[in-house]
Amino acid sequence: MDVASIGFLGFGKMAQSIASGIGTTAKLHYFDPAPDDASLHATARKMNVAPAPTARELETGVDLLLLCVKPGDMARALSTLEGNKSYITIAAGLSVDTVVSSLPNPSARVARVMPNLGATIAQSVSGVYCTDAALLKTTLSIFSSVGMAFQVQKEELLHAVTGLSGSGPAYAFLFLQSLGEAGILQGLPAEQSFEMAARTVKAAMDLYLENREHPGQWITKVSSPGGTTIEGLATLEDHGFRAAVIRAVEAAAEKSRQLGG
């Protein structure tokens, strides 16, 4: 990483996860525009992230500023800044141009990132869009410290990233909940059923990541002719399982576009 100091404008859970991944490779500072929160400040102290009295002073004292406020709060949060540093925004839906338009410098360098919940355990999937080569390199380095980070060539693709990996953990938890509850319905104890469901899903995903075979090939390996698995799969098809997942990602991506609008 080629920056000596990094600031966080907003220091919620995602910002804290990123700061934890960066660790001691840079000096870290923060300012949170939300109402004063003693627990947030205590967390920052434990992480050795120093407070700044204002957003303007935070910007002045760092080389790079991560914008970790909610989309609806972005314009107000940036209103006092000078726009003379490099910036990384993680706000869902907001385009680079929208962020730049809230800064007084129309030439400000801004990267846009869509991380996900996995950042809290250093397993984020983060899509990165940036047209500045140096800032792109720095951004990929920062987000690689909390998982997998990859570049998208067109900013529009970040809406798809939002719908798939940004919202994806919620879809996965819903599937886990449903699978576990199905086991309970069949008589399994709740704790055992949810653990069985979680370990089953995790093992399947690990197999895919280790071998990179198409998911359909794995389904074929599990499905015996006339067996239990193919019966269950046929029922999922009857109820539009795949179509529902596709529509969910589509709807979340569209919502991301609306937020940007």
The 10s digit of each residue's pLDDT in 100-118 is: 999 999 999 999 999 999 9
Rounded mean pLDDT of 251-258? 93
Q: Output the pLDDT for position 1.
A: 60
Is beta strand 109-114 parallel, antiparallel or unpaired with respect to 124-129?
antiparallel
Return d(Cα 22, Cα 20) in angstroms, integer: 6
Q: Output the pLDDT for position 85.
A: 94
The 10s digit of each residue's pLDDT in 197-212 is: 999 999 999 999 999 9
pTM score, whole prediction? 0.91
The 10s digit of each residue's pLDDT in 44-67 is: 999 999 999 999 999 999 999 999
Contacts of 174 (CB under 8 A, 6+ apart): none
With a cut of 90, say whether residue 221 has pLDDT above it: yes
Mean pLDDT of the chain: 94
With a cut of 90, say whether residue 29 has pLDDT above it: yes
Closest CA to 100 of 129, 78, 117, 80: 78
Rounded mean pLDDT of 148-164? 96
Domains of the chain: 5-155 (3.40.50.720), 168-260 (1.10.3730.10)
Q: Output the pLDDT for position 192.
A: 98
Q: Output the pLDDT for position 100.
A: 95
Rounded mean pLDDT of 214-225? 96
